[in-house]
Amino acid sequence: MRKTTLTARGALCALGLLTINPSSAQSPEPDEKSPAPPGPAAAGETHQITEKPEASITTNHGIPVADDQNSLKAGIRGPVLLEDFILREKLTHFDHERIPERIVHARGTGAGGYFQVYKSQADITKAAFLQNPDEKTEVFVRFSTVAGQAGSSDTPRDVRGFAVKFYTKEGNYDLVGNNIPVFFIQDAMKFPDLVHAVKPEPDRGFPQAASAHDTFWDFASLTPEINHMLMWVMSDRAIPRSYRMMEGFGVHTFRLVDAKGVSRFVKFHWRPKLGTQSLLWDEAVKIYGSDPDFHRRDLWDAIARGDFPEYELGLQVFDQETADKLDFDILDATKLIPEEVVPLRMVGKLVLNRNVDNFFSETEQVAFLPSNVVPGIEFSNDPLLQGRLFSYQDTQLSRLGGPNFHQLPVNSAKGCPMGFGQNFQRDGMHQMAIPKGRVSYEPNSLDQGTPRENPARGFSSVPEVMNGVKERKRSETFADHYSQARQFFASMTEIEQAHIISAFSFELSKVETPAIRLRMLAHLANIDAKLHDGVAAALGMRDKELPIQPKVAPRDLPPSPPLSILAKAPKTLEGRKIGVLVTDGFSSAALAKLREGAKAAKAALEVIAPKVGGATDDKGNAVPADRTLTTAPSHLFDTVVILASQSGIEDLTSQAPAVDWVRDAFGHLKVIGHSTEAKPLIDKAGLQPDGGVMDLSPENAVGSYLEAAKAGRVWAREPAVRRPG
């Protein structure tokens, strides 16, 4: 066995995640920032780290670490063991890196509401909140970005958190998920590394809330299990139009248990009533600058005007026999189950009807714990989930000042009579209860009024045989890192594929180290030739990368249409916003028709004027403006209208913000309505009008405009205004 220094390619080999194909391997030209990879290993060889004791990873107490990739499990697919002091130390240190801001999901907003089941789900679970359709279970929901700090913006390209706390009569249940159904890594051991890589680089403290930098893509290029998640993050899913138009997922495989003790597997889904919609990248960037609070403002305003966001809870329920037939491991958090294989069972609705009374007390202090489950819901042996069961609780000890954070009002078990909980835990920092009596232990005979165990109603785990070797190792059933990434890309429309190519091109163009870009191109080649060639051409690095031969050859899986946003996009204006730019002398009749049509379509309408005082219509009436031209750029709206008079348009065409307002709306593929008098502004912006630019003067033209706007963006326009790369 040959020993050689571990480099980028050697690291992948040592992880057991790929092999090198000697016949096709060509070493890239070395650069000063990255050593050249070693030559291909001879048959049967593996790459090892040269013996350098001072370079070995150790625990904080100096104990050498043999495996920094995998948790210690009871059997290769078994649960993670509490004795894994290496995992616990790594997660504990990571959990306590930020005080008091969350390490991840720091930037968020919250709202209250209720969940209501459609009908009893007793055939699959005994969970009480899923039984009675006449009951409403109070909830608190927090949406968030992942990578940015609390002071960052709402619209970066990022994963979004979708966490729901159910205050059930059996205690709190926390469904802590994201807007993407898979994750970056397979084992919690790698979570600190992932977040360290995507956070601002530690020597310089930037970039903020962005993955377009060397450390993230270096980690990604050396971690093939990340490839499926990268497809989602580079897609439009990572720049949602609104939290109200965003799907949610529990990510992991959980268990449902019925009253007879029968266990089934389950995946959790949230589906927004308004449909799923995303921003364009250029739009997201401009919103970042003009309204950094775009998403939290959108949620607050919708609830304040009574347009309560609503989501359906869908379950993918399946048994062990179905799990055994799948071509991937259900314990692998980088995989999803296509809806064609296991359809969604829609079981209830989530309605957000209450804005918070105090942002800090509720949104900032809410503590979500994946370990908060109620009887009828249990865990699987997913090694990423198993680590989260420890890590989230541990994190709150720093963030919220000790073990009594559950006593904060937003975290208390308000849905059941126990409130703060009935047990013998006492004292600790920030103790807000005043437990009475002599007894603080169990069993006891001195106080017959103290709580006792309840075998009939209490939480009890499903008996499961655990028989395996204690080891740190990744199951071979976790080894396919490309097939579902390939399926995701194939399931996208051509428009969405072009956006993914653009996103990869943008991100990798900001990576300074050529070797990292080359490794990522090699991964993309294993996913899809069109994807690889498009990104390589945009980077000017075609045919330069060193091929990577996966340990498990990628397979062509059938496309899954539900993975596409555009393929299932509803034609609706409900929940959308119409921006109407007016000048003095504008048509009052046209505005009245627009208001009437917007109300019927359940859309919000805002009037924008050059001045904060508003404008005077053709009847001489003063019409107040909701916002001004400079404070309400067109990228804050889903569709726009210009209502100008002959005299008013002359002033608008001389204003750069007005020209930009129209030009951006066209570039962001919005449907644009305008009065005949506004045509000079269209011309000044240099637009080539298409079917999405509509004169509202003819009879019934307003109705035609609103109908066109229901279709969303004018995608046929996109090739003329931008291209991938």
Task: Give residue limits of the domains in the chain.
Answer: 8-56+479-563, 85-210+224-407, 571-721
275 contacts 569 by C-beta, under 8 angstroms: yes
579 contacts 291 by C-beta, under 8 angstroms: no
Q: What percent of the chain has pLDDT over 70?
A: 91
Select the CATH number that applies to the domain covering 571-721 from these four: 3.90.1200.10, 1.20.1250.20, 3.50.50.60, 3.40.50.880: 3.40.50.880
8-56+479-563 and 571-721: identical CATH topology:
no
**Which residues are part of the catalytic machinery?**
105, 178
User: 24-33, 238-247, 283-292, 429-438: lowest mean pLDDT where?
Assistant: 24-33
pLDDT given at position 275: 97
**pLDDT confidence of 52, banded at 50, 70, 90?**
low
Of 165, 146, 166, residue with least CA distance to 156: 146
Taking residues 226-253, what's their average pLDDT? Answer: 98
Sign of the CA dihedral running 41, 43, 49, 52: negative
pLDDT given at position 544: 66
pLDDT given at position 412: 92
pLDDT given at position 430: 85
- Alpha carbon distance 239, 287 (integer Å): 11
**521-540 pLDDT per residue, tens:** 999 999 999 999 999 999 99
| Superfamily name and number for 85-210+224-407 | Catalase core domain (2.40.180.10)
pLDDT given at position 369: 95
pLDDT given at position 510: 98
**246-297 pLDDT per residue, tens:** 999 999 999 999 999 999 999 999 999 999 999 999 999 999 999 999 999 9
**53 contacts: CB under 8 Å, gap ≥ 6:** 64
Q: What percent of the chain has pLDDT over 90?
A: 76
Per CATH, the architecture of 8-56+479-563 is what? Up-down Bundle (1.20)
| Averaged pLDDT score across all residues of the chain | 90
**99-131 pLDDT per residue, tens:** 578 999 999 999 999 999 999 999 999 999 999
Of 278, 267, 62, residue with least CA distance to 157: 278
pLDDT given at position 59: 74
What end-to-end distance do the CA atoms of the chain give, in Å? Answer: 44
**538-554 pLDDT per residue, tens:** 999 976 678 899 999 99
Taking residues 188-196, what's their average pLDDT? Answer: 97
**662-707 pLDDT per residue, tens:** 999 999 999 999 999 999 999 999 998 899 999 999 989 999 999 9
Sign of the CA dihedral running 295, 297, 303, 307: negative
- Alpha carbon distance 140, 363 (integer Å): 9
- Tokens representing 55 are 């370079």
- Alpha carbon distance 18, 14 (integer Å): 9
Of 289, 366, 409, 280, residue with least CA distance to 713: 280
pLDDT given at position 119: 98
pLDDT given at position 283: 97
Residue carrying the six token digits 């890594």: 185
